[in-house]
Structure 1
């Protein structure tokens, strides 16, 4: 049985991955209390002792606000931590999958969807961290996949981590009686987390390199929130529940969508974002009528 070590093991992606493949791989899901990626000695010891075939490096400080306000801490976790893991992988001949982000394109102004060939221009600390880590890791390792995720969404699940996402955020605002403010000036790929997890082992079989992963999406954020409200059976209350935020990204539309055609050519296929949302709502039986 092949071995997989997950860093950031208590996170949204890794907890679901570990549940899905607990009987397929021998998995060490290393949460932050088990493995501090900024501690090079601990990283070396953990990877040496477990001797994994693959290391999926998902540990990161992803909050844009936190990173902007605490750049030194963010750098230590997001860049130095990734380098520590890569060096340990090289010593043990473990293959590494580095989870990067669409947010490396935050500062690009020509609009998405972006292919892997387009030069990223991040304008946030988090985006800059991810891009710098990508470059450093490529200098350290040959056996490396860099996968830039679109924004993953999903529902709370037993014994799984949770993170802010478009579907759960919209639903919780409705439950709280809070009017949703959504901008029509933002476009992002939105991907059902289980579509990524179900196909993830296919990445182990494709050439090393950089790949964009996730769904294509032609809808803006306001349209997506409208769709969610409709699909759960509250379409007649859309005006009551949802308000357009015309000020956010008013000067320049935010478009950080990724073109995922490259990885689709290797057999990984993803629903359109709207279809993924419908699928998730159906699987969790969220429709009220």
Structure 2
């Protein structure tokens, strides 16, 4: 059984990933309590002790506002920490998967979708951190996959962390009877976390390099919010709660969608975001019924 060391192992994606593949791989799950990735000496000792076959580097500070306010801390975790992990992985001959983000394109003046060959121009500290780390890691380790994720969504599960995402934020607002402001000028790839997880194992079979992973989405944020209402079967509440925010991004529409043709050419395919959203909602309904004893 291959051994995988994963940093940031308690995160929204990572915790679900390790649970999903627990019977196929031996996981060494670390978070900040188990491994301080900023401490290079401790990272090297930890890797030498466990000698993984693969490393998935998911640890990061991804909260954009925090990174912008504390770029010093963001740099240490998102860049210096990634460098330490890459050096340790190389030392023990482990293959490295570095999780990057669509946010590297957030400052591009032209609209997406963007391919792996497009020049990335980040305009946030987090996006700049990810792009800098990508470049540094390429110089450190040859056996490297850089995977840029689209925005992921999902719903709460027992013993798993949650993060803000379009589905959960929309559902929370519905439950609170709060207005939802969504821009028709914002476009992003939106991927169900379990679609990403089910495809992730295929990364280990790819040639080393940079790949964009996630669902294709042709809906604006405003259209997607309405689609969520439809998936929940409450279309009649759209006019009551959903507000089309025509001002936001009106001067400079935001489009950071990714072209995923490269990964698709190797057999990694995703449903479109609308289909994925429906699947997520339906699976959640079934799980709620099971947990309440209404479905056996």
The TM-score, its normalising length taken from structure 2, stands at 0.95
Residue in 2 aligned with 1:268?
A: 268
Distance 1:163 1:32 in 2: 18
Cα 1:224/1:286, change in 2 over 3 Å: farther
Residue in 1 aligned with 2:133?
A: 133
Residue in 2 aligned with 1:187?
A: 187
**Match runs of 1:116-131 below 5 Å:** 116-131=116-131
Q: How far has the Cα of 1:33 moved from its partner? A: 1.0
* Kept in 2: contact 1:229–1:238 (CA 8 A): yes
The secondary structure found in structure 1 opposite 2:237 is: helix
Distance 2:138 2:280 in 1: 35
* Kept in 2: contact 1:281–1:287 (CA 8 A): no
Residue in 1 aligned with 2:216?
A: 216
The secondary structure found in structure 1 opposite 2:277 is: helix
Distance 1:94 1:176 in 2: 47
| CA deviation profile, 1:93-131 (whole Å, cap 9, x unmatched) | 000000000000001111111000000000110000000
Cα 1:51/1:287, change in 2 over 3 Å: closer
Distance 1:109 1:134 in 2: 21
Residue 58 in structure 1 maps to residue 70 in structure 2: no
Distance 2:156 2:166 in 1: 13
* Kept in 2: contact 1:231–1:287 (CA 8 A): no
TM superposition outliers: structure 1 runs of 4+ over 2 Å: none
Residue in 1 aligned with 2:113?
A: 113
The TM-score, its normalising length taken from structure 1, stands at 0.98
More displaced 10-residue stretch of structure 1: 36-45 or 189-198: 36-45
Residue in 1 aligned with 2:35?
A: 35
Count of matched residue pairs: 288
Residue 17 in structure 1 maps to residue 20 in structure 2: no
Residue in 2 aligned with 1:281?
A: 281
| CA deviation profile, 1:130-166 (whole Å, cap 9, x unmatched) | 0000000000000000000000111111211111111
Distance 1:188 1:109 in 2: 15
**Match runs of 1:107-256 below 5 Å:** 107-256=107-256
Distance 2:67 2:58 in 1: 16
Distance 1:246 1:34 in 2: 46
More displaced 10-residue stretch of structure 1: 206-215 or 39-48: 39-48
Q: How far has the Cα of 1:39 moved from its partner? A: 1.1
Q: How far has the Cα of 1:247 moved from its partner? A: 2.0
* Kept in 2: contact 1:174–1:241 (CA 8 A): yes
Distance 1:175 1:48 in 2: 49
The secondary structure found in structure 2 opposite 1:116 is: coil
Distance 2:230 2:101 in 1: 29
Residue in 1 aligned with 2:80?
A: 80
Residue in 1 aligned with 2:292?
A: none
Q: How far has the Cα of 1:59 moved from its partner? A: 0.3
The secondary structure found in structure 2 opposite 1:258 is: coil
Q: How far has the Cα of 1:286 moved from its partner? A: 7.4
Distance 2:287 2:10 in 1: 29
Please, which runs of 5 or more residues in structure 1 have no aligned partner? none
| CA deviation profile, 1:207-251 (whole Å, cap 9, x unmatched) | 000000001111000000000011101101101111111221121
